[in-house]
Amino acid sequence: MELIKNIDKIRSPYKNAVITTGNFDGVHKGHQKLLDRVKAKAVAINGTAIAITFEPHSLKVLKKDTTLNHITPFEQKKELLSDTNLDVLICIPFTKEFASISAKDFVENILVRQIGMKVIVVGKDYTFGKGREGDIDFLRKYGEKAGFEVIVEDWKQMDGQSKRISSTRIRRLITDGKVEEAKEMLGRHYQVRGTVLRGRDRGGKLLGFPTANINLLDELRPKNGVYAVTVITEGTLYNGVANIGFSPTFGDHEFTVEVHILDFNSNIYNKKIKVNFISRLRDEKKFSGIQELSDQIKADIINAVKILNTKPKCFLGDP
């Protein structure tokens, strides 16, 4: 997949460009439906399958007071879009200046003249341009003059349900700790990424369960609590248990993400780590002391193993 970060560097229009545009936060099943239609149409007309996205998210520029937590940071979004086998991904820096471009100028000067659009695939509620003046009717009328086709794709809904799949709904599910429901909309487990930092050395020394402490790169955090997870580090997948919150037993006031990786004893300080949230096990809880907390962690591991369908060789830290 070709990545374009500056549209001014597009030297000539693409052949029979089939385009879809959006923030694509989460690259969820609804987005995937649009992208599949783009690819199929590009094959049908011997064209180029192109997605246009924006960085940062448009709402962060247009509504400064909004609290918007990304499902996928840009690097992950880029990976997920690349996995769809698009031909080209164009990432346009979203600024106030860009937001002031009229719908007519966006279509005429950027989509048609620069990129060579012959087909655009959009969702039913698609709007664009200054003040959202552009919509599907605008595209259809302009397409008749400029010679491009407009394909309106219906919303993707949950199987057997009337619920529309959307980034807003997925964000709500994740912040409520409903990671299994979020998976059904994403088409994969929700994942956070970060760097492993040196923590307080309590996991291994006090509790018998060493943990990787993560400095999150993502903005969206699952609800505080304990989760069965899988972990990817240095190219290998492991099972584990993650705690998100403030460690109330120790009276901490600093938010942490700590992951106990099963059957693992390597030094991964300062290494990159990816954590997939499989299932929420319980709320975060204050225990009477070290022993009660240690016993609960052991029970959490047993429950996680049942969910992950694995058998641990031993509890790390046990003799």
Out of 3.90.550.10, 3.40.50.620, 1.10.3720.10, 3.40.640.10, the CATH code matching 2-153 is: 3.40.50.620
Beta partners for residue 80, in sequence order? none
Mean of all residue pLDDT scores within the chain:
87
Answer for the pair 83, 198: CB distance below 8 angstroms, yes or no: no
pTM, 2 dp: 0.87
**Angle of the 29-44 helix axis to the 179-186 helix axis, nearest 10:** 10
More confident of the two residues 213 and 34: 34
**180: burial class by Cβ within 10 Å (0-12, 13-18, 19+)?**
middle
Please report the pLDDT score of residue 319 as a whole number.
30
**pLDDT in the model for residue 230:** 95
Domain over 190-308 is classified CATH 2.60.120.10: no
Looking at beta carbons, which pairs linking 287-295 to residues 24 or more positions away fall under 8 Å? Answer: 287/249, 289/249, 290/206, 290/207, 290/249, 293/207, 293/249, 294/207, 294/208, 294/209
53-57, 107-111, 150-154: segment of lowest average pLDDT: 53-57
Q: Does residue 288 register a pLDDT over 70?
A: no
* Length of the chain (residues): 319
Kindly report the number of other CB atoms within 10 A of residue 271's CB atom: 12
* CATH fold match for the domains 2-153 and 190-308: no
- Whether residue 275 is predicted with pLDDT greater than 80 in this model: the reply is yes
Q: Are 33 and 153 in contact (CB under 8 A)?
A: yes
